[in-house]
Amino acid sequence: MKKTIFMLSAALFALGAAGAVYTGIETDVSALPKEKAFIGRMVRSRVWDRVVPSTFITNVNLKVSFVIDESLGGENAVVKVADGKAEVRGARFRAVVAGAGVLLRAMKFSAKNFELGDGEYRFEPKMKYREVYFARHYDNWYHRASVDEFIRYFEDLMLWGMNAVHDPIAYPIVDASKAKESDRVAYLASSKALGIRAIELDVDLSVRGGGNKGPRNLPSKYRSLHHYKGKGSTVFNVCPARPGAMEYLKNLHRDACEQRKGFEYTACRYGPYDEGGCHCGDCYPWGGNGYVKLIEEMRDINEKYKPGLKHIVSTWFFDREDWKLFYEYLEKQDWIDYIMVGHAGSPSVGGIIPKYIVDNPIPKNIPVITFPEISMYGRFPWGGTGANPLPKKFEQLCRAQEKVAMGFSMYSEGIYEDLNKIIINSLSVDPSRTTDSVLAEYANWELPGADPAEFVKLVKMLEDIYLMRIKGRRGITAVSVAAYLKDAPKAELDRRAMIAMDALDLANRINGDILPRCRTNWRWRQIYLRTVIDAANYRTRDVRNPESMAAYGELITMYHSERQVTELYEGTWGGFTAPPMMESARIRKAWSEYLDGEDKK
């Protein structure tokens, strides 16, 4: 037999060669510690999701074994397939998990069997830090999903080769004032399950290090001064310089630390703006003044609860004034392990790397992690029209971070940007890949039966007509989109409408090709519904047409955003990731009045 070696990026294309056909899978976990044996069940369950077992055919099972082999080094994994057997070897258990994912995605499924080519497949990640941030708040999917759904999704991402997760663990402060005891119990159950699974999967867990965000009902005497550039523009941030405010914030954080007792987290992260920040004379410039004073206090609390933590300091929304004073602080400090950078707040390179740190290398060569925001681009409510795949945008982002960063932590508000997660992670694991190859691999795995090339074409069409900004408007909301559909130049609307209709036709063709067992997969349904909504909105020039409203209803159920919709109708809060059934006029008015008042100060 001729031995063929495939890197992760080429695993899918191994399918072009003749491969053996299997009707099922058996797993051998005898070489693993007992507490890691669950990987066998994890892998089998993914196969049975795609193949319908039959008693009327002779079973030909692929026999898969798992081995931890430290000699491979780092997080490398090797998968060998030959003569009806597959062996997954990894340098540590998280590498075994990633290798298992490589094996699974190399399979090509039909209704009753799957094909897998003999050869050797490799997982050799280039970027060391590959984290997903579950923003579990505002009644979004992460906040309201069942424990089983939540953990299943976490496992799926780790099978793609991610190796870290950032999660609040403690109940979000911003939602605390309206939480019932049943809400807290359910949240803690998900937190505990995530913490346990992270240990089992050999995945690093980081938590919030503390900041100046308060609850919605925080005492007005502590409220921060709104930033003149709109940074940290929520109404529930605290000015730590006000009498009693620092102790108030420290007590809030101690409560969070108490909720995290018993969790094996390895790092904590501090964030400056959004949520956070204060523009008063004592705190300004926040990034190099009020912020560093605050996080030093929080650091001491964190060290008491969990000695030896790694400390990650975010610079999200920093501008030149922040950077300059923050650099002076970096020269003097000795406790920061990583600097996290993002695109917002200052000129950037490739939409992710602040130009300031390109022109001025970070003092003491502190390692850099990027903070890709994959959820909110071009849309409010976020995810309100279904999936938002943006491969071109995030390939540009990945190319920019290659020479500067050692990894990433993707900010995620829900599952509607699942494909964006996979694009960034895959290009960070193997920078030689193309986005087309990632999209094709995703389609082969999640949409078995469909033509991967057609899926690639569809995703590019969806990105082409995704509204990223509207001239003269601060953000894209259901109201501003509605106005755009009425006021935009007819030629542009007609162009978008034509693409949207073609995308819907293509989606219907793909839908017919997907194996019936997989056609209701939420990953596909949210993409399909996006094509339905786009086509209906552009055709009718109305975001609340009957076809879109029906699709919104399915998305509400899919994203567990029922509470958001209720709050929208009640005019209280809500609506961050719920489809645009309506907007809360009360919230828009309250925010507008607050911002106007702060701007006058």
Which uninterrupted H or E stretch holds 253? Answer: helix 245-259
Q: What is the pLDDT of residue 575?
A: 73
Q: What is the pLDDT of residue 589?
A: 55
Is 381 in contact with 576 (CB distance < 8 Å)? yes
pLDDT means per 10 residues, the chain with 601 residues, are 48 53 96 98 96 71 97 98 97 98 97 94 98 96 98 98 97 91 97 98 98 91 78 78 98 97 97 89 94 98 97 94 97 98 80 92 97 84 90 95 94 97 98 98 98 98 80 54 80 94 98 96 98 94 90 95 85 74 52 46 43
Torsion-angle region of 575 (φ positive above 0: left; ψ -120 to 50: alpha; else: beta): left
Q: What is the pLDDT of residue 57?
A: 59
Do the bridges between strand 108-109 and strand 114-116 make them parallel or antiparallel, or are there none, so unpaired?
A: antiparallel
Q: Which residues of 387-416 are buried (b: 16+ CB within 10 A; e: fewer)?
A: bbbbbebbbebbebbeebbebbbbbbbbbb
Q: What is the pLDDT of residue 59?
A: 80
Collapsing DSSP to helix, strand or coil, 274 comes out as coil
CA–CA separation, 430 vs 128, rounded Å?
11
Residue carrying the six token digits 């992760």:
8
CA–CA separation, 516 vs 588, rounded Å?
43
Cβ-proximal residues to 343 (8 Å cutoff; 6+ apart), any chain: 351, 352, 353, 354, 373, 397
Amino acid at 482: A
Is 51 in contact with 59 (CB distance < 8 Å)? no
CA–CA separation, 26 vs 33, rounded Å?
18
The three-point CA angle 316-322-326 to 5° equals 95
Q: Which tokens belong to 585?
A: 């006029």
Q: Which of 457, 452, 329 is nearest to 391 (CA)?
A: 457
Q: How far apart are the first and last CA of the chain?
A: 77
Is 431 in contact with 447 (CB distance < 8 Å)? no
Q: Which residues are paired to 83 by β-bridges?
A: none
Q: Which of 94, 110, 238, 245 is nearest to 515 (CA)?
A: 110
What phi and psi values does residue 366 have, to the nearest 5 degrees?
-65, 130
Domains of the chain in sequence order: 5-123 (3.30.379.10), 130-433 (3.20.20.80), 452-560 (no CATH)
CA–CA separation, 601 vs 81, rounded Å?
68
CA–CA separation, 158 vs 90, rounded Å?
14
Strand segments (E) across 136-243 = 164-166, 204-208
Do the bridges between strand 267-270 and strand 310-314 make them parallel or antiparallel, or are there none, so unpaired?
A: parallel
Q: Which pTM was predicted?
A: 0.93
CA–CA separation, 470 vs 476, rounded Å?
7
CA-based torsion, 540, 541, 546, 548: positive or negative: positive
In the chain, how many H helices and how many E strands? Answer: 20, 19
Q: Which of 92, 54, 57 is nearest to 72 (CA)?
A: 92
Strand segments (E) across 347-494 = 348-349, 353-354, 368-370, 407-412
CA–CA separation, 584 vs 571, rounded Å?
5
